[in-house]
Amino acid sequence: MSRNLEISKYLKISQKYLDFSTTMVHTAEYLPATGTSISSVLQGGYNHPLSREWQQEKQLTKNMFIFPLFVTDLPDEETAIPSLPNIKRWGINKLIPYVKTLVDKGLRAVILFGVPLKDGVKDLVGTAADDPEGPVILAIKALKKAFPDLYIMCDVCLCEYTSHGHCGVLYDDGSLNTEQSALRIGAVAVNYAKAGANCVAPSDMIDGRIKDIKTGLINAGLAHKCLVMSYAAKFSGNLYGPFRDAAGSAPGQGDRKAYQLPPGGAGLARRALLRDMEEGADAVIVKPSTFYLDIISDASRLCKDYPICAYHVSGEYAMLHAAAEKGILDLKGIAFEAHQGFLRAGARLIISYFTPEFLEWLEL
């Protein structure tokens, strides 16, 4: 009997709450109308997809994208890079057919990274970097022949070619020999220009290399037709892992913190930008990009008369793919959001592994 009373009480209480929810006594309130100021009305200006594009001070276009290409010394190489989705290493025999598919979609510029894979090629001074039969110089000539209008940039560094994996020539104690490194890198840059490169882009961050490259180009009679795009603000950090997988360029010992910029070093970045302009850079690169928008913004003010390039690096690219694979975000949407951020910060050019996708996404 007592159990029946408990059930009856429970049913009455439940009905009471049900009645309350269906006969709510509270009503929604509004503040008194004050009128709408004309200057407060913004939404009419971006209520349509086209008008939203009009609100962008800068819009992404195909000609601002630069696509990184990893070229090996194995002619028939075509190897996917697991940590870099959709990106491969290419041998010279496979490179041209692949690039043609992108040129047909509007690709205007590439940046070449050599990847020596043959045994015994690497040495202490990166001799293979400017070998006439090496991957970069062969690729320059093949691309120029196949695509005369394609703008060919060459990353200039020794890390892929040195047995120790550092970006320059070392002293016996393992520290960087700055003077010899800059002169060696300068020679590599000049040899790329002699092979037909439209642009050389030193990424080593070694003091004085822009001056040596520019002087070398002048002495070779090539300064008037080879742009020097300096990685003027390149930071050390944790976002280069997939690139090093692709290029085989991880240092054998130590790290690169003594010549790449520390992540918190905004002042150093500004000084490096000013220095490289003074030494003869024609354009500058900020690398990485997503976490360094303030540096891109600084560069756009300090180097306001120079093209500013943002490098969306391998780790940034891989992170977006990983997040998309987990369903955290939409890949196309976040790619646009990231790259539009570079433009807002002041970049005019973007080195991006998303270039093949943007060549399709930017089709009208």
Strands (E), the chain: 65-72, 78-80, 88-90, 109-115, 151-156, 199-202, 227-234, 283-287, 308-312, 349-352
34, with CB counted inside 10 A (0-12, 13-18, 19+), is exposed
Q: Which residues contact 331 (CB under 8 A, 6 or more apart)?
A: 320, 321, 324
Q: Which amino acid is at 314?
A: S
State the pairing for strand pair 78-80/88-90.
antiparallel
Separation of alpha carbons 68 and 90, rounded Å? 11
Q: Beta partners for 80?
A: 88
Active site residue 304: no
- In terms of DSSP H, where are the helices of 240-346? 241-247, 266-279, 293-302, 314-325, 331-345
* Per annotation, catalytic residue among 234, 257, 304, 332: 234
Name the DSSP class of 128.
Answer: G
User: Long-range contacts made by residues 76-81, C-beta under 8 angstroms, separation at least 24?
Assistant: 77/117, 81/242, 81/245, 81/246
Separation of alpha carbons 320 and 332, rounded Å? 10
Q: Which residues contact 271 (CB under 8 A, 6 or more apart)?
A: none
Q: Decide: 137 and 195 in contact? Cβ < 8 Å.
A: yes
Separation of alpha carbons 14 and 30, rounded Å? 32
Active site residue 94: no
**Among residues 173, 292, 177, which one has the least CA distance to residue 236?**
292
Q: Decide: 81 and 88 in contact? Cβ < 8 Å.
A: yes
* Per annotation, catalytic residue among 94, 122, 214, 287: 287
Residues annotated as catalytic are 234, 287
